[in-house]
Chains A and B, each alone.
Chain A
Amino acid sequence: MFEIFGIPSQALFGQLLLGLINGSFYALLSLGLAVIFGMLNIINFTHGAQYMMGAFAAYLLLQHIGIGYWEALIIAPILIGATGIVIERVFLQHLRKLDPLYGLLLTFGLGLVIEGLFRNYYGSSGLPYQVPDALRGGRNLGFMFLPNYRAWVIVLSLVVCFATWFGIERTRLGSYLRAATENPVLVRAFGINVPRMVTLTYGFGVGLAALAGVMAAPIYNVSPQMGSDLIIVVFAVVVIGGMGSIMGAIVTGFLLGIVEGLTKVFYPEASNTVIFVIMAIVLLIRPAGMFGRHA
C-alpha cells in the first residue's frame, strides 16, 4: 500500500482499471460506428440498442438453452449481426440516395422500437449474469487487486480492436472496403459486389456492438436501457476522435476511458460529464477531431 498525490494506490489503480474497462467498451463501440459510417455514411443510432441486444442474447441463451458465456461470445454477435443484416436489407439500403440525416432518424427510431420492446418484456430493472467459472476471482498485483474477468475484457477488447484494424488496413479484403468507401462506382466496375459488402459491413459493425454487449453482461447488469446512455458517450468519443481513422477510434476510446477513471479519483462530481467537456474543448480547438479529416 502506498499513496500517489495523497490518494491510496488501491483507489487510484482501481479507478484506472474501471476507466480502462469503460475505455474497452468505448473503443469497441466507436470502432463499430466508424466502420459502419465509412461504408454506409450513416451514424448508427441503433448501436446502443444492438449492444443491449448482445447482452440480452447472452442472458437468454443461458436462461433458456443453457449455453454459457464462451459460446455466447461467438453466437450472440453472429445472431445480432444477422439481425443487422436484415435491418440493412429491409430499411437502410433504401436510404442510400437520400440525405444522411434520414439514416440518422431511421436508426434512431429503430433504437426506440427495440428498447421499447425489451422494456415491455423484461422491465427496467437489471438482470444478473454470472462471470464464467474460469475467470472468477482475481490476483493481487501488490499495488492493486486485479479481478480476472476485468483483465480478460481489456485483453479481448484490445485483440478484437487490433484484429479489426489489421483486417481493414492490412488485408486485401480491407483494401476493397477502403476503395469502396472512396469510390463505390469504380469498385463495382472491377466486378466487386459493393452492395453485398455494404450489407456485410453493417452486420459486422453490429456484431462488434453485440460482442461488447456480451462482454459487458457480467460487469453491468443486463437491462433494456443499458445501451442508450452509453451510446451518447460513445458519440462524444467519436466526435473527439473523428471518424476518419480506425486507429483513431480505438486510441480515443481507451484514452477517454482512462481520463474518465482518473476524474472519478480526483473530482468525482465531474466524472459523468468530463468526456462531454473534453468534446467541447476539442471542437473549439480542432473542429475536425483529433484524428479526423474535415467532414
Chain B
Amino acid sequence: MRLLLKAIIVLCFSLPIIAADEPNSTTEIPDVNTIVNKANIMAYYQGEDGKAKVNITITNKQGQTREREFIILRKDVNDGRDQKYYVYFLKPADVRKMVYLVHKHVDLKKDDDRWLYLPALDLVKRIAAGDKRTSFVGSDFLYEDVSGRSLEEDTHELIETTDKVFVVKNVPKQPDTVEFSYYNVAIDRKTFVPMKMQFYDKEGKLYRVIESKKIEVIQEFPTVVKSEVRDLKTGSKTEMEFSDIKYNIELEDIFTERYLHRPPREAMR
C-alpha cells in the first residue's frame, strides 16, 4: 500500500492500468498482497517515464491560498524499483527555476539522493535525507505521499469489498516512526487506482483524507488528474491538479548535474 499513497500523487504519470488485460473478476477476490502489489505496479512502473505539469493550491483554515506550480519528469531505473524525479519550479516567483532532483531508492536501508539547484547562485546543493513525513513544498501533502512509502513498512489487511472498491487497512510495522496508527485505502476494483485514503491518529480518530477527485484515461492509462488532501486537525486542504500529462516520452538520463544547470527542454515546455 505504500505506494498507493504515492500513487495518488505521482500516479498521474504512471497510472497505466492493467485492468485491460485483467478482465473484471467481480466474482473473484484476489488476496490482499496481490491487490497491494497491483496497485503499486500500476501506480509506478507502467510506462518507462512520464511528464506532467502540477498545480498545487493550499488553502488554510482562514481561506487564504498559496500556489505552487512545477513540471515533474519521472523515469524508472531499469524496470527495477528505483526511480528518478526531476522537479522544475515555475511558481511562486521566488522559487522559479529552482530544480529539485531525487534518485529514489526503494531499499529501506538506502536513503534517497536529493539535490537542489539554486539558479541565482548557480549552486548545486546536496540535501540530507529527511523525515519523509514532513510537508512537501509547504502543502498538506507529505514527501512520502509524493516520493513513496515502502510496502514493507506496513502490514496490509483487506477489510471490505464493495461493488466498486477494495478497502485495505495498513498498519505500520514501526508505529513510532509515523504520526498515524493506521490508514485505509479504497482501491478501485477495475483499475486498481487508489480512490480514497483515510489516516487515523494514535487515538484512532480520522484526521487526514486524500481523495482522487478526477480520473482521465491518458494514452490508455487511467490517471488521477486531480486529488485533494484535507487535514481535519488544522482545517487546511491542498488540491493538486495535473495537466499536460504524457507517458513514454523517451526521456534520456536528464537526472544529472548537467541538467540542473540547464533544464531539459521537456521541463520547459
Tell me whether A and B are bound partners. no
